[in-house]
Amino acid sequence: MEYQRALRQNWHAHEQPILTLMLAGHVEEAASRETRVVVPLDVGFKPAGIRHADRFGARGVRALRIALEPPLLAAVEQAGRRSLDWSWTTGSQAVMPLMRVAVRLCGSDASENDVLDDLQDALAALGSSQPRGKVNHSPSAWLRHVREHIDDCHGFGLRLSDLALSADVHPVYLARRFRAYYGCSVGEYIRWRRVIAAMELLRNHRTPIADVATRVGCSDQPHLTRVVRAATSVTPAVLRRLMTLPSTEVQNVQDDTGTLPLASTE
């Protein structure tokens, strides 16, 4: 969905829960006595009936906006044993599946089952800045340090053995504890951080894609293409257009994956 430049929406509410992935521009949203400035790759959730107000940026906004059916949301909340509240999250694991949803909905051959799978994956990660499946207790200090180090480096050039050495633990023990708490392997988390970093750089259309590849630790542009395509199903060129297309423009993007129509989607 695309919002016009400098649009203001006074206090209002939606009848259905809304899940949003910001793609381009920024918006200031107020709800529950709190105000957030939302930027690209932030993921938001609004429960049905919550009153909120929005002020959109001067350059307009593009976002994936999904109205959720109550049975789907109820199943997710039951599985997580908690209700989902109004939130905007930076660095959420929900970004990647929601980006795949955006790409699928912009295509002409979107499979309803594939979209639903990605949507359920996003909901499972909603509201979390870390991978799925954390356990009830807090991680040890050394494990938090490992994850923070990966975040600070955006996963660039990191290896399990080096991380284990810095934490003064055995690599097998690190791998086991990381998966037990964060719900994925160290390698999966490193790859996720690399793709997120690439997506952030791709938002600047002036940065050559070959330079993006170098800056995220890929050997060359084809390497970056393989990494991004594995996570989002499209090439960096298509992803860049999806995240930077002006709000007044609708066009087709052609690359070696075929034609991807980039019309407004809700």
Q: Where are the domains of the chain?
A: 2-125, 141-182
CA distance 208 to 263: 24
Residue 126 or residue 260, greater confidence: 126
Residue 67's CB: how many other CB atoms inside 10 A?
12
- 53-57, 142-146, 189-193, 195-199 — which is least confidently predicted? 189-193
**Level-2 CATH architecture, domain 2-125:** Sandwich (2.60)
* pLDDT for the residue 80: 63
The average confidence (pLDDT) of the chain is: 81
* pLDDT for the residue 8: 92
* pLDDT for the residue 251: 36
Q: What is the token pair recorded at 31? A: 């709800």
* 130: phi then psi, degrees, rounded to nearest 5: -135, 165
- Chain centre distance of CA 48: 22
pLDDT of 235 above 70: yes
pLDDT of 252 above 70: no
Q: Are 158 and 171 in contact (CB under 8 A)?
A: no
* pLDDT for the residue 13: 94
Q: What's this model's pTM, rounded to 2 decimal places?
A: 0.76
* pLDDT for the residue 247: 38
* pLDDT for the residue 253: 34
State what percent of residues in the chain have pLDDT above 90. 32
Q: Where are the beta strands (DSSP E) in the chain?
A: 2-3, 8-12, 18-24, 27-31, 34-38, 43-46, 52-56, 61-67, 87-89, 252-255, 258-261
Instruction: Quickly state the pLDDT bin for 125 (edges 50, 70, 90).
Output: confident
